[in-house]
Structure 1
Amino acid sequence: MAANDLPRPDFARNMTLIGHSDIGGRGDGLQLMVHKGYAYIGHPWSQGFSIVDVRDARNPKTVNYVQAPANTWNIHLQAHGDLLLVINALDLFADVETFTDEKIYYTQSVGDTVAGSRGRRAWTAGMSVFDISTPDKPREIGRLDVEGVGFHRLWYVGGRYAYASALLDGFTDYIFVTIDMANPQKPELAGRWWLPGMNRAGAETPTWGEGRRFALHHALVHGDTAYACWRDGGLTLLDIADHANPKLIRHLNWSPPYGGGTHSPLPLPGRDLLVVADEAVLDNEEDGRKHTWMFDIRVPENPVSISTFPIPHEIDYVKKGGHFGPHNLHENRPGSFQSETLIFATWQNAGIRAFDISDPYHPVETGALVPAAPRAMTDRRPGRPRVIQSADVFVDTAGLIYATDYNAGLEIIEYKG
């Protein structure tokens, strides 16, 4: 797309939009990985995933689309080496009768909500493994199938093990599982861990009350510790030295009084710090003001919150419509930009943000870009506002920022901070 055709951002400070793609007409993007010059993008409404050649960042080209299995979505994925891992799960947003009101998705246990679907199971649940030695031509070489709704999000950076949030039959919602990747053609579940009350098949009873979800969004792993975010269930640090039997180090939950949605962890092991973002999940801050928290984890058994990130304030984003608040963080993956002082985040209707945490007690915003409103709506849920909802962010080794949106495609941004 020529520079003069780029959508003009609503706001920019120390960031410049240099490239944009409508992802081949599938503008809905969720998680993305940039790997060997190609962006792999999962779709929440178009199902499947797309591949965009971003070797020329000013001229991204959509080069492939891989259709999901029937009634299945591939919203999250991980790329490392010559492997691409893609989740398979029931396409929850296709069930317009159940999830027309997004509040149902975010405030009720998904396992209970879709329990009636299990007698007519017609989706693929688990994970597919693709060979991407030819980056634009993924070839499926393995699959892990599970009984249940399926996987939600993955963490894989090489080695023998991958990690996932999985909704298995018998559980109220997504739990933590470890996956043995010794043979990528035949990955196997190795271990599992859940918060007490989630195992209905084991006669456990939920204790968290109506209107809340105790559900693992995902975990990031460093060494033998998994840092896991459980939506309204808060944060756990898990010892995974024994991958078959994870053990709890500490569980913290600040909801209530805060509004839950604990979503994205980012350990900074060189500084004994942990960043945790609570996702804004309802329009116009109906679920309350959400924060990105800084924790001191020098004593893993006693994480201490020491600050929160500043809140975007150029305009009244609450009145703008849609979700206003944190969503995802750039995750310092091997082969990407890595920093323990510069944090990149998506803030939904407030776009993409950069923060300097050199002083962890006083995070400072150092850059921002709020993309233009989407030109077309791919989100099929009725009544959704036509505003930006920046979803995921990835920063490559050259410092270029890649960001997805639920409708507006792929943005490629230079950081000038």
Structure 2
Amino acid sequence: MKSGTSATFPKLFAASLTCAASLLACASVHAQEKEEASNMQLLGHNDLQARTAYQPTIQQQGDRWIAYVGHHGGKQPNPLTGKDEYNGTSIVDVTDPKAPRYLTHLPGEEGEGEAGGAQMVRVCSGKTLPHAEQGKVYMLRTFGGSAHEIWDVSAPEKPSLVSRITGNLRDTHKNFWECDTGIAYLISGAPGWKTRRMTQVYDLSDPAKPRFIRNFGLVGQQPGSPDSLRGADYDMHGPIRLGSRIYFGYNTFLNGVIQIIDREKLLRGNPSAKDPFEPTDENLTYPVITTFYTSPRLGAHTTLPLLGMDIPEFAKNKEGRTRDMLLVVNESLRNECQENRQMMYMVDITTETKPWGVSNFQVPEANGNFCSRGGRFGSHSSNENMTSKYHKKLIFLAYFNAGIRAVDIRDPWSPREVGYYIPAVTPNTDKRCIKVDGADRCKVAIQTNNVETDDRGYIYAVDRANSGMHILDLTGPARAIVQP
């Protein structure tokens, strides 16, 4: 696809002017005009109509594989319709990863950045949802900050709206949908709650008839709680459910909170209360197994459970050979390292009530002079698909201007990088700026925002700075780790 390319050449011209004013900026631009790779290779690319991209989800639909990509707010021309459309959801056929084919764009809410678009997307098949139509495929997405929507995407070229969840919401973000039960944990800002993001639990087992179950958050966030309580300072980012537990991450950048929640208790409510779901201190505490406050300099963007890991280094030990781990990723937020360094952490949760950090992984700045390249440098997220090909073996991290990093986590006490891919900038890649002596200094830089895998083993990365979607595969020693 070449959509949107002709309209974005002025960005490269502007970058050239920046180069003329600053040798450092010029070096930054030229450094990414070519891809950089180790043990990873690019298979295919789609420009996603030059839209700033957040969340990819890949779904097998019959003999096809479809990528659903959520976008941040903004507006771009859609060559398929000939109209300017607010960023929403891109739907791309990736059956052939070397030739991804853009199918349709579903516009989102008016607004810029976090305020508009349709950032989050999840997909479930009617075959697994308990009360859905068997032959259907359903997509759950956010609509800006004001709603959650369910679409019938059985024919991904022609999505149709099934239902909407509204209610004076003021923000939405990274939902989780249990395809086997239909339970959805919707991240919203509900009326009266003292945080901009908390969790609304819904039964979406019948996508046409959403059923509200309860609101949930930290003590101190609920309506009527004293302003002095600490919980109001933390925004929910996103949950991940595995088995009987839900792993919640609050605050992505600083002052993080990690919660491990008993799913059954959350869904049934406190049996000793008159109203089991009323957001009282007691009812909000009832399903909590542990609440773990991070260092003030750390956040909890992604909390990915890796349970039952057999640790090769501990194989000869009588005890402790198998551990439950939680992979925690912080989010870099500020351009050109004007912040604390954000990275990935491994937390031992074998004893759930006493989590303990055991290691971290970061990309050394000097490996690519990343602080001077422009844009954000640091971690953002990991893949969440638990395909057996990679689960508990390799993790893929989105690292903004350091691209995609492949990390061997088989020994969670010593995670090590085994591959990386930093895409080349494109004519669509947008600039990123900081203030220097009161004036903007801008550079064009790759901003790999989120990553995901599919069950075939392909790796998908989408770019925050309008550079599109990159589809990757492993090579060399990295591939050997997961080769059958």
Question: TM-score, normalized by length of structure 1?
Answer: 0.83
Per-residue CA deviation, residues 269-325 of structure 1 (Å, 9 max, x unaligned), is 232111000111112232201121101111111111111114244222122221111
CA contact (8 A) 2:236 2:249 kept: yes
In structure 2, the residue matched to 1:263 is 301
The equivalent position to 2:41 in structure 1, one of 1, 10, 16, is 16
How far is 1:341 from its partner? 1.5
* Map 1:266-415 → 2, pairs under 5 A: 266-271=304-309, 272-313=324-365, 314-333=367-386, 338-377=390-429, 385-406=443-464, 407-415=466-474
DSSP-derived class of the 2:68 partner: strand
Letter in 1 for 2:399: W
Equivalent residue number for residue 164 of structure 2: 143
Q: How does 1:212-251 map to 2 (within 5 A)?
A: 214-231=234-251, 232-242=255-265, 243=267, 245=269, 247-251=287-291
Q: Which moved more, 1:376-385 or 1:31-40?
A: 376-385
Write the distance in 2 (CA, Å) between the matches of 1:381 and 1:283: 7
User: Aligned pair 1:162/2:184, yes or no?
Assistant: yes
Kept in 2: contact 1:327–1:391 (CA 8 A): yes
User: CA separation in 1, counterparts of 2:339 and 2:57?
Assistant: 29
| 8 A Cα contact 1:143 1:186, kept in partner | no
Give the alignment partner of residue 138 of structure 2, picking from 68, 75, 83.
83
Does the Cα contact within 8 Å between 2:431 and 2:445 map onto a contact in 1?
A: no
- Within the candidate set 135, 149, 163, 1:128 is matched to 149
Q: 2:102 aligned with 1:43, yes or no?
A: no
CA distance in 2: counterparts of 1:244 and 1:150, whole angstroms: 26
Deviations 1:123-177 (A, max 9, x none): xx23111112223322111111122214211111402301122111222221122
CA drift at 1:227: 0.7
Supply the AA of the counterpart residue of 2:358: I
Alignment gaps of 5+ in structure 2: 3-31, 76-86, 126-136, 270-283, 310-323, 435-439, 479-484
In the alignment, structure 1 segments of 5+ residues that lack a partner are: 91-124
Structure-2 separation of matches of 1:126 and 1:166: 8
Kept in 2, the 8 Å contact 1:219–1:265? The answer is yes
Sequence identity, in percent?
A: 28
Specify whether residues 213 and 389 from structure 1 end up closer, same or farther in structure 2 by C-alpha distance, changes over 3 A only.
Answer: farther
Query: Which whole-Å CA distance do the structure 2 matches of 1:168 and 1:379 have between them?
Result: 34
Cα distance in 2 for residues equivalent to 1:9 and 1:17:
12
2:294 aligns with one of 246, 254, 275: 254
Shift of 1:65: 0.6
**Mapped partners of 1:344, 1:186: distance in 2:** 36
In structure 1, the partner of 2:224 is 202
1:183 equivalent in alignment to 2:206: yes
- How far apart in 2 are the matches of 1:64 and 1:226? 33
Question: Is the Cα–Cα contact under 8 Å of residues 329 and 393 in structure 1 kept in the other structure?
Answer: yes
Q: Which moved more, 1:148-157 or 1:31-40?
A: 148-157
What is the Cα deviation at residue 360 of structure 1? 1.1
Equivalent pair of 1:198/1:206 in contact (CA under 8 Å): no
Q: Using the alignment, how far apart are the partners of 2:443 and 2:212 within structure 1?
A: 40
Measured in 2, the distance between the counterparts of 1:337 and 1:375 equals: 35
SS of aligned partner of 1:327: strand
How far 1:375 sits from its partner (Å)? 2.1
Q: Is the 8 A contact 2:244 2:263 kept in 1?
A: yes
CA contact (8 A) 2:109 2:144 kept: no
Contact 2:139/2:152 (8 A) holds in 1: yes
Q: Is the 8 A contact 2:171 2:196 kept in 1?
A: no
- What is the DSSP-based 3-state SS (H/G/I as helix, E as strand, rest coil) of the residue aligned with 1:190? strand
* Equivalent residue, structure 2, for 1:108: none
Deviations 1:90-137 (A, max 9, x none): 3xxxxxxxxxxxxxxxxxxxxxxxxxxxxxxxxxx2311111222332
Equivalent-residue separation in structure 2 for 1:269 and 1:372 (angstroms): 36
Q: Is the contact made by 1:157 and 1:333 (CA closer than 8 Å) also made in structure 2?
A: no
Q: CA deviation at 1:206?
A: 5.1
User: What's the secondary structure of 1:127's corresponding residue?
Assistant: strand
Which one has the largest radius of gyration? 2
Alignment check: 8 A CA contact 2:173 2:187 kept: yes
8 Å Cα contact 2:335/2:432 also seen in 1: no
- Measure, in 1, the Cα distance between the counterparts of 2:327 and 2:343: 11
1:70 CA drift (Å):
4.5
Give deviations 1:199-239, integer Å, cap 9, x for gaps: 3x313315559xx9511110101122111110133211112
Instruction: Give the superposed CA RMSD.
Output: 2.5
Q: Identify the residue that residue 107 of structure 1 maps to in structure 2.
A: none
The reply to whether residue 193 of structure 1 matches residue 216 of structure 2 is yes
TM-score (norm 2): 0.72
Secondary structure at 2:148's aligned position in 1? strand
- Once the two structures are TM-superposed, the CA of residue 21 in structure 1 deviates from its matched residue by 0.9
Residue type at the aligned position of 1:14: N
Secondary structure, aligned partner of 1:328:
strand
